[in-house]
Every structure is written in structure tokens, then in C-alpha cells.
Structure 1
Amino acid sequence: MSTAPAARTTTTADDREHRTLVAARAQRARDRRLATRDLVLSIATPILLLVLWELCARVEVIDPRFFPPPTRIVSAGGEMLVSGELWQHTAPTLMRLAVGGGLGALCGIVVGLLMGSSRALNAALGPLFSALYPLPKIAIFPILLMIFGPTELPKIIAVFITTFFIMQINTVSGVWAIDRKLLEAGAAYGATGLSRFRHVILPGAMPFVFSGLKTATGTAVVVVTAVEFTGATTTGLGYLIWNSWQLFIPEKLYVGLVVIGLIGALVTTILSRSEKLLLPWRRER
């Protein structure tokens, strides 16, 4: 008498498992379709916009003197690349971003971790940093020029200050956002001092650190371009854009804008890939 109910229970369990597997396969197939669609849209949309821009400029729906066709911009970029002019302006900008932004980010992360972990240090430096952060970084560039002269140092310092404050604020927020239960669990397992910092605080703050790095990248690009506008240098993508405007060479101006955009996009992509690699628990499923 008990065999039939047992058989029905087994059949029901098998059916449930089968439905679960079917649903999982359908979900994976849907995710693949959506990923393919997103990839196609991300590629097709810029291409369509460029084609529209080209056509509108050719038939003069828009003024080609101010909006030259993309083919002319690409041609100008190729000529600048062959002559070495493009690299002559790109290399200094990359150097200023790498040195100033890299050091600023590193120092901001270290100071942020220390301030987030130490109540006394946060009380001592927090109000000072809160007062200094809102100051426009480009506004203090003339002071840096007066102190250090028209050298590379003022430009690097301007980028350093920009990235430092962004990373300091984001890192402190990351430390404070750590779930108290994680801190209590770490303490229960004997995590104190350096061990607590390494296994609890640092991993917990890293998502905010990467978020801050992405924000700092965009802001640093804006600042380095702005300081190169000032005439305190004759190299850099910012100088290329400003000089092209003064000489009314819009093709070169757009080449500078495109290269700046590519630099920002490349660094942001590298940061996103690094985040997925270093923080596997944050990967999208």
C-alpha cells in the first residue's frame, strides 16, 4: 500500500527537478540573447550616429565648418599620427594623468583607509578635508604656477589634488559602509590589527574604492585638459584643442576630443575588468 505514494513522491520530485533544469536552461538562453542584443546595440548605435553625422555634414544640414564630416576627422587624425604630432600631444597628457592621478589615488586610498579606521584621525582631518574639497582645483592652478613656475609640476599637482580628495572621500565612505556584523564576525574569529584590516576592512571598502577610481578618472581628465588650456604649456591634448580653436582647424580639435574620450573609456574599462577580477563576489550573474 505504501509503494504507490512513494512512487508518486519520486515522480513528483523528478518532475520538479526536470522543470527546474528546463527553467535554468531557458534563463541562460535568454541571458545570452540579451547579451548579444546589448553588444549589437552598443556597436550599432555609435556607427549609425556617425553615418547620420556624415550625411548631414555632406548635404550641409549642419555647417561642415563647425561639424566636419567624421571621414575628414579620421583623415586628419591619420595624418597627425603619421607625422607624430598626435603622439607629441597625447604622451604628455598620459604622463600627467598617470603620475598625478596614480599618486593621488594611492595617497587618497591610504589616507581614506586610515581615517575610516581611526576615529581620532578622522576628527582631526575630516573638517579640513571637507573645507578643501569643494574648492575648484583649476582655481588654485595659478597659485601653483606662481610657486613652481610653468613646469610640469603644477599640472601634476593639480591632477594629484583632484584624485586625492575623490579617493579619500570614497574610501572613508567604503570603510564606514562595512556591515557591523562583518566586523563582529571578524572579531569573533580573532581578527585584530593587521589581520582585521586585511581580511575585513580592505575587502569591504574595495567596491567604494573602484567606484571612486572611475569617478576620479573622469574628473582627472577634465582637470588635466583644463590646465593644458591655460597656455602654461605647449603640449598636451588640451593645448591641441585650444590651439586648434584659435587657428580654426576644427578637424584637429575633434581629433583631440576623440583621443581624450578614448583615454577615459579605456581607463574606465580597465578598472571595470580589474574590479571583476579582484572582487569576484561582485561579478554580474
Structure 2
Amino acid sequence: MSTPVPSVRVEDREERTLVAARAHRSRENLLRTRDLVLSIAAPIVLLLLWEVCARLLIIDPRFFPAPTKILLAGWEMLRSGELWTHTGPTLLRLLVGGGLGAILGIAVGLLMGSSRALNAAVGPLFSALYPLPKIAIFPILLMIFGPTELPKIIAVFITTFFILQISTVSGVRAIDARLLEAGAAYGARGLSRFRFVVLPGAMPFVFSGLRTATGTAVVVVTAVEFTGASTTGLGYLIWNSWQLFIPEKLYVGLLVIGVIGAVLTWLLARCETLLLPWRRRG
């Protein structure tokens, strides 16, 4: 008569599962700490290397001034108000033009993605207009509206609008047909279908488009501020500093533009985490 194999107790299986889960969480915490340390240490090491090379004249400090001199110039510009004089207009153009362009682009993209007829009517037109360089359109805007704030805001608006329109249409079309069928089976029609199926399904693509549009809008607003139509803005600060050969101020402008882009991207990531909790990592 064979001896029965003792079965593993449920308590033992649960204990092993808890131990494995704790080990996994501990490893994830270590990896997050390592990533944070690396993300902070790498720029610091590069800045220290830059500082040493500039001080020892390994690189030409006329073109690559030491980071400490750049920070000192930025502090002086901040105290005198010069830095805010240029940062404020750039932020205004980005937020107004980019915000309106994003809202309208998402709305039009949702409509085009949901309506086959509308997409057939205006889709080819938008596809033809999107590749046009926005900087090339800027002189036309100047001829129509003059050297005012409106052409700069419109240039940012157009840039953001097309990126969000394309991303949103792609998001609607990428929704799994099984989700649409499941929504229909549960009685989702009209506004309910849009609210509970279409909009959540398209939102990951919308946020991806927002991140792309943010970087592109920063590039466009800086480029239009390079022109003689502007006497304010970080782009003007960079261009004017190059003309007057004041490299410290030029690098301050570049630094502020980078900070603005990084902060806006971080805010979008936080909003995505809050609005799309099912996409959270870790």
C-alpha cells in the first residue's frame, strides 16, 4: 500500500507568496533609489567636469564659460528682473497658444476619429497642412497681423493643434474592437459610449501627443522669438546675447528653456498618472 504524498499546506503557500512579494518590492525600491541617484549624479558630474575644463582652459571659456559664471549671471539677471522680462512672455505664448491648440486639437481629433464622414472630408486637408514648417508660415502671419503677440501665439497654436489632432485620431482608431462591442453589449450608446469607452481608450495617445507637442512648441516659440518681430522672450535673449557676444546670458536662456520644457513634461506625466490610474507603473 503506497504512502500518500502530503499536500502543501495553504498557509505555507501563502507564506511563500508573501515572502516573494516582499522581496520583489524590496528590489523595486532599490532600483528606484538607484535610478534617482544616477539621474542626480550624472548631471552633477558633467557640470563638475565642465567647470574643471573651463578653469584649466582645456575648453575655451569664451565660448564655454564655467557653470558657476553662468549661474552667477543668471542670479544677477533674476535680481535685476531681466530674466523674468524674457521668461514671462515666452511662458504666456506657450500656455495660451499651446493650451488652446491642445484643446481644439483633442476635440477635433475625437470628432474625426468617431466620424468616418468627417475624417474623409477634412483628413486629407490636415495631412497636407501638417508637414508645412511652422516657421515658414510665420512670415505670412506677420504680414496679416503685424509684429504683435498674435502671430507668435498662432504659430504655437498651429503646432500644438496638428500634433494633438493626429494623436487623438490615432488613439480613437486604436481602441480594441472588443471594447466597443463590450460597451455596446452593456448598453453604451451615444454620450455614454464616448465617455466610458472612446475617451478613456484614446487618452494614452492624447498624453503621448501632449508630450510631443510640448517639446515642439518650445522649439517653435524659441524660433519665432529669434526674428526681429520680437524684442522679448527667451529666444530673443539667446539671439541678442549671441549678437552682443555675451555667452553667459546665452547659456542662461538655454538653461531656462530646458527647465520650462522639463517642468511642463513632468506636469503632464503627473496628470497622466492621476487621470489614467490603470497605466501606473510600480
Q: Deviations over 1:104-153 (max 9, x none)?
A: 00000000000000000000010000000000000010000000000000
1:24 paired residue among 18, 21, 24: 21
Residue 151 of structure 1 pairs with residue 148 of structure 2? yes
Count of residue pairs the alignment pairs up: 282
Distance 2:265 2:4 in 1: 59
Counting only pairs closer than 5 Å after superposition, residues 76-155 of structure 1 correspond to structure 2 as: 76-155=73-152
Q: Specify the alignment match of 1:212 in structure 2.
A: 209
TM-score, structure 2 length as denominator? 0.98
Distance 1:260 1:204 in 2: 33
Q: Specify the alignment match of 1:9 in structure 2.
A: 7
Alpha-carbon offset, residue 281 of structure 1? 0.1
Distance 1:21 1:221 in 2: 48
Alpha-carbon offset, residue 223 of structure 1? 0.2
Alpha-carbon offset, residue 16 of structure 1? 2.5
Distance 1:117 1:9 in 2: 56
Distance 2:4 2:277 in 1: 45
1:231 paired residue among 228, 234, 238: 228
Alpha-carbon offset, residue 208 of structure 1? 0.4
SS at match of 2:62: coil
Q: Which runs of 5+ in 1 are unaligned?
A: none
SS at match of 2:63: coil
Residue 199 of structure 1 pairs with residue 196 of structure 2? yes
Residue 284 of structure 1 pairs with residue 253 of structure 2? no
1:92 is matched by which residue type in structure 2? P
Distance 1:133 1:264 in 2: 22
Percent of residue pairs identical: 80
Distance 1:218 1:71 in 2: 27
SS at match of 1:9: coil
Give runs of ≥4 in structure 1 deviating > 3 Å: none
Q: Specify the alignment match of 1:263 in structure 2.
A: 260
2:44 paired residue among 47, 50, 69: 47
Alpha-carbon offset, residue 237 of structure 1? 0.1
2:183 paired residue among 181, 186, 190: 186
Alpha-carbon offset, residue 23 of structure 1? 1.1
Alpha-carbon offset, residue 10 of structure 1? 4.8
RMSD over aligned CA atoms reads 1.4
Distance 1:25 1:120 in 2: 54
Range moving further from structure 2, 107-116 or 20-29: 20-29
Distance 1:14 1:202 in 2: 44
SS at match of 2:7: helix
Q: Deviations over 1:238-281 (max 9, x none)?
A: 00000000000000000000000000000000000110000000
Residue 244 of structure 1 pairs with residue 241 of structure 2? yes
Q: Which runs of 5+ in 2 are unaligned?
A: none
SS at match of 1:67: coil
TM-score, structure 1 length as denominator? 0.97
Alpha-carbon offset, residue 21 of structure 1? 1.5
1:103 is matched by which residue type in structure 2? L
Residue 57 of structure 1 pairs with residue 60 of structure 2? no
Distance 2:51 2:172 in 1: 49
Alpha-carbon offset, residue 5 of structure 1? 5.2
Distance 1:87 1:18 in 2: 59
